[in-house]
Structure 1
Amino acid sequence: MEELKNNVIPLYFLGMNGLLFVLMGFDKLCAVMRKWRVPEKTLLGIGLFGGGFGGLLGLVIFNHKKRKHYFMWTFLLNIAIWGILYYSLWLRK
């Protein structure tokens, strides 16, 4: 369990956030160029499964999906869940 806490979970968290951040930027670029877009279900799904910080960064930096408030709420919910998980796994003994 200790190896899982110290290695796998943080890598998963960083990977999901990085992936969602890149996808938000890519989707914004595709929107500007009027090309194929990343489905909203994909962005929201990654946001729910660990990409909250990356999604919020993508929202702010790329100025993308700001009108759709459910994106922000999904990403904030994910950050809250990860905060609770972080507290329960690492800080609480």
Structure 2
Amino acid sequence: MSLAVLVYLAVINVIAFGLYGLDKYRAMNNMWRIPEKTLLGVAAIGGAYGAYLGMRIFRHKTKHLKFQIGVPIMMLVWIYFVTKGFPEIR
């Protein structure tokens, strides 16, 4: 795996973690929230591990079924991509 991919995954996971923390803060303070599609979207594009850690550490979105199932599935998909390689785009 290239250094660029590793840097991308590190950055997107830090962003995902931060978004979950920020959304939790906003939820507790009755502020404008980050849409669920954004939280799931950032997990889908490589931030699944940061999203999962954010869910657990901040105790945020842990009761929503689409997060309970969706984020771990995205983690498995990214394990596959990292270990087996990315599919070719034609």
Structure 1 runs of 4+ with >2 Å offset = none
Instruction: Could you tell me which runs of 5 or more consecutive residues in structure 2 were left unpaired when the two chains were aligned.
Output: 86-90
- Which residue does the alignment assign to 1:54? 50
Q: What is the root-mean-square deviation of aligned Cα atoms in Å? A: 1.0
Question: How far apart are residue 72 of structure 1 and its match?
Answer: 2.5
Q: How many residues align?
A: 85
Q: How does the TM-score come out when normalised to structure 2?
A: 0.88
Structure 2 counterparts to residues 42-81 of structure 1, below 5 A: 42-81=38-77
Distance 1:67 1:79 in 2: 18
CA displacement 1:43-89 (0-9 Å, x = unmatched) = 01111111111111011100001110211222111111111112113
Q: How does the TM-score come out when normalised to structure 1?
A: 0.85
Instruction: Could you tell me which runs of 5 or more consecutive residues in structure 1 were left unpaired when the two chains were aligned.
Output: none
Distance 1:54 1:74 in 2: 13
Alignment check: 8 A CA contact 1:56 1:72 kept: no
